[in-house]
Amino acid sequence: MASQDADATRTDQLQFQNPKTRYPSIEPPEQTQPEPGLDAEMLPQADIGEFSYRGTGRLVDRKALVSGGDSGIGAAVAVAFAREGADVAITYLPQEEEDAQNVARIIRDSGRQAVTLPGDLTDASFCREVVEQAVEQLGGLDILVNNAGKQVVAESLEELPDEQVEQTYQANILAMFRTTRAALPHLPAGATIINSTSIQAYQPSPDLIDYASTKAAINAFTKGMAMQLADKGIRVNAVAPGPIWTPLQPSKGQPIEELPEFGKDTALGRAGQPTELAPAYVFLASPESSYVLGSTIHVNGGKPSP
């Protein structure tokens, strides 16, 4: 097994440091990519933790499935889980193979098994298939991270076609119902489910109403499922990121001209980096959060949310 410590730099997440200056306040140049966007093409590059997340053995021998684990927050979660000792399966769209292979490499370099599962989660049968494949190849499943998501700006309701609304709902919330349903028969007591919601559930941007409303739905789904599964010993929680520099943003997730200002409206005055989300997911996946269910951890640089 590769040394986890050797992979981390002096400024890993456990280093005492000023959160304001841990990362620079980036001003991404105006840029665009076709949806879903690639980490490999981002300017500047985002930090998914390859050289900045140090594991401390909190998820040894756990088996995790992370949807959208090829890039951004999901990639950072997959990397952190592997550094904490878990084997990890990631799902992604077929056009994201390059990013997915990079994350798989980091997982393997961390001494853990990586499973890559390309496909479209708006297809109900793929939601079932990813769970079956993850269970088969990992030899079980005890962490499910429903993280894949679609965000495309539309200035007004008149410019938001039903087709986009339906696709956003399919990818963000219907896939969550389907994947979770498929996973349930495999999850033992002690297993955890973590859903990626958003600050948009609380402070919807006027040009993201389809996306924001799926995130509010995810919040209610998370709390209701937590109550439904508590008796089985399965905990369900959510993480609500604020503005994080990921491929979602420069692939129509924000108006292009607003990218240079992205994240500057937070109390810390900067966008978050994907790896800054990872410790929240690790905490919720680990048994140390045994009394935490139906909760949301807000990781947003200081945009107070309920």
Q: What residues make contact with Mg ion under the rule CB under 5 A? A: 70-71, 96
Residue whose beta carbon is closest to ligand NAD: 72
From the list ligand NAD, Mg ion, none, which binds 4 (C-beta under 5 to 8 Å, kind-based)? none
Give me 135's structure tokens.
């269970």
State which residue, 93 or 284, has the beta carbon closest to ligand NAD: 93
Judge contact between 237 and 292, C-beta under 8 A: yes
Among residues 7, 148, 16, 147, the alpha carbon closest in space to that of 82 is found at 7
- CB of residue 236 vs ligand NAD: minimum separation in angstroms? 16
Considering only residues 224 to 283 of the shown chain, the ones binding ligand NAD according to CB under 6 A are: 241, 243-244, 246-249
Query: For 84-174, where are the alpha helices, taking DSSP H only?
Result: 97-109, 124-138, 162-169
From the list Mg ion, ligand NAD, none, which binds 196 (C-beta under 5 to 8 Å, kind-based)? ligand NAD
Please list, in sequence order, all residues whose beta carbon lies within 8 angstroms of the beta carbon of residue 242, skipping any fewer than 6 positions away: 199, 263, 266, 272, 298, 299, 300, 301, 303
Considering only residues 59 to 78 of the shown chain, the ones binding ligand NAD according to CB under 6 A are: 68, 70-74
Considering only residues 105 to 164 of the shown chain, the ones binding ligand NAD according to CB under 6 A are: 120-122, 147-151
- CB of residue 246 vs Mg ion: minimum separation in angstroms? 8
- CA 201/CA 274 separation, integer angstroms: 19
- CA 239/CA 285 separation, integer angstroms: 11
Considering only residues 28 to 57 of the shown chain, the ones binding ligand NAD according to CB under 6 A are: 36-37
Catalytic residue among 23, 211, 281, 291: 211
Residue whose beta carbon is closest to Mg ion: 71
Q: Is 23 a catalytic residue?
A: no
Give me 21's structure tokens.
């200056």
Among residues 269, 270, 278, the alpha carbon closest in space to that of 8 is found at 278
Give residues in contact with ligand NAD (CB under 6 A). 36-37, 68, 70-74, 92-93, 96, 120-122, 147-151, 171, 196, 198, 241, 243-244, 246-249
Give me the active site residues, please: 211
